[in-house]
Structure 1
Amino acid sequence: MAPRKTRVKPTAYPFLPFHIIRCAQLVSSLVVASIMFYFLRELAHDGYRLPWTFILLMTVSLLTLAALTTTIVLHFRHGLSASLNLILNSVLALLWTVSFALLAWWCSGTLAHVCDADSWESDTGVSVCRMYKALFSFALLGFVATGCALGLDVKVMRGTRTRGVFQQLDVLNGGEAKRDEEDTRRDINPNPIAARAQRGRGGDGYALPDEQFEYNDIGYHGAAGEVGQSRI
């Protein structure tokens, strides 16, 4: 007996924008997490205090990777809920905004310099300068990608609510013709008594109908053969 296939709920997300944005989030989170892991390890090894900016960037990149892993499993196995994805991306967008703002303020002086031996005095300094600029670039990519993901969630949620609103469509399936036919049937009353009552109320009030006086005379033939007539 063949195994029964589980049906996945169809998603309302457009294919290309959905996966392109998620790939951008994935790449930016991987690069930021890798650079942060290197910086935090070197700083801890040399006995320096760990900056809160680095800790926040490390946290938000790991949370983004965890959210992407969870939602992609739900997307392929059970169908991704737009409301759940909206909540996750809202939290991630807030964290990316704060961490990117702190990073831009903290390393603004480093970003303004050229990564060469004259400014950094050694190859290690040049490598650190390049890593700072790569960190800034991919943090910016993560911030923008998460914002785009949040905007896509909002658009999908609005589209889902719009499709869920009931709209009466009389044009489909001959709705106009059917309505005209029902109006015609309503105008033609098959009950003659009701029709006469309506006609009487419309013009003559409660007068007796003329048909009551259209009977012929009724004759009575008596026993002697004489005809006696009386009008009823």
Structure 2
Amino acid sequence: MARDKVKPTHYPFVPFHLLRSAQLVSALIVASIMLYFLWHLTHDHYHLPWTFILLLAVSLLTILSLSTTIVLHCCCGLNPRLNVCLNGCLLVLWSVGFALLSWWSSGTLSHVCNKSNWEDETGIMVCRIYKALFAFTLLGFVSTFAAALLDVFVFRRATTRGKYNQMQNIDEKTAFDAPNSVPGLDPLPYETQKPFSSQPAHTLGATGYTVPEEQFNYDTGYQGTHETRGL
């Protein structure tokens, strides 16, 4: 049975999969931390911060986008136009989420995770989780930004390869199609390019058949009739 053919990809192998792996790892860790925080906040009847909701949404969307595009990449080839749109939208969400997280947890990030600042082991664990959240949110933002740049580069290269240059301009085409010239023999006059003489030839009847004059110049060896040779 013949195997299905997959359209060749324009993406370089190592950068493409390396950036996608960084996106996937950061999205999984951010989503796990957000689910942990949101569960505890809901259990204790606290208000859910918009920053956490946004980070959870963008991490889940990133996982969904990576899962969809890897299936397309393996089955029918990934279109750079589609991937640049997806990564562009994810980049906007990662940028907003990272900016909100940096502003919202700036005080926590500037402190050392010890008992003098967080009182007990639970506080120290929460401090470390916040710093891990910040680090992997930054990784998600940077990896998505780099992936979007790679998509733009691949899209422009694929578009450039599809362009066709003009083979000849109008002047050259006019000179090429001129009836008084033969390609390869210019600039010789047209009359000198003719393979046969243009002088009038003898005409037999009205049929249009012409006899070249050169045939009358040949020596046929004919010396007359047998009576003439006997004399």
Counterpart residue number, 2:87: 89
Of the three residues 146, 150, 154, the one matched with 2:148 is 150
Matched, 1:162 2:160: yes
Residue type matched to 1:184 in 2?
G
* Partner residue in 2 for 1:111: 109
Aligned length: 181
Superimposed CA distance per residue, residues 45-94 of structure 1 (whole angstroms, 9 cap, x where no aligned partner): 00001000000000000000000000000000000000000110010000
Using structure 2 for the length normalisation, give the TM-score.
0.74
Gaps of 5+ in 1: 171-181, 195-232
Report the AA paired with residue 154 of structure 1: V
The answer to whether the 8 Å contact 2:87/2:148 transfers is yes
Report matched runs for 1:98-137 at 5 Å: 98-137=96-135
1:55 alignment counterpart: 53
CA distance in 2, matches of 1:192, 1:95: 76
Distance in 1, matches of 2:22 and 2:95, equals 16
Secondary structure of residue in 1 paired with 2:45: coil
Cα shift readout 1:8-45 (whole Å, capped 9, x = no counterpart): 11010111110110000000000000000000000000
C-alpha distance in structure 1 between counterparts of 2:104 and 2:6, whole Å: 46
C-alpha distance in 1, partners of 2:133/2:49?
A: 15
1:139 lines up with 2:125 in the alignment: no
* One-letter amino acid of the counterpart of residue 156, structure 1: V
In structure 1, distance between residues paired with 2:147 and 2:50:
26
Contact 2:185 2:193 in 1 (8 A): no
Q: CA deviation at 1:190?
A: 5.8
CA distance in 2, matches of 1:193, 1:162: 43
Q: Percent identity?
A: 56
What displacement does 1:185 show? 1.8
Q: Which amino acid aligns with 2:139?
A: L
Q: Which residue of 2 aligns with 1:185?
A: 185
SS in structure 2 at match of 1:187: coil
In 1, Cα distance between equivalents of 2:193 and 2:68: 74
CA shift in 2, pair 1:187/1:126, >3 Å = same
Counterpart amino acid of residue 128 in structure 2:
R
Instruction: Tell me, yes or no, if structure 1 residue 6 matches structure 2 residue 12.
Output: no
Matched, 1:43 2:41: yes
1:184 deviates by: 3.5
What is the alpha-carbon distance in structure 1 between the residues aligned to residue 118 and residue 72 of structure 2? 47
1:125-149 Cα deviation digits (max 9, x unpaired): 0000000000000000000000001
Moved over 6 A (4+): none
Distance 2:193 2:4 in 1: 64
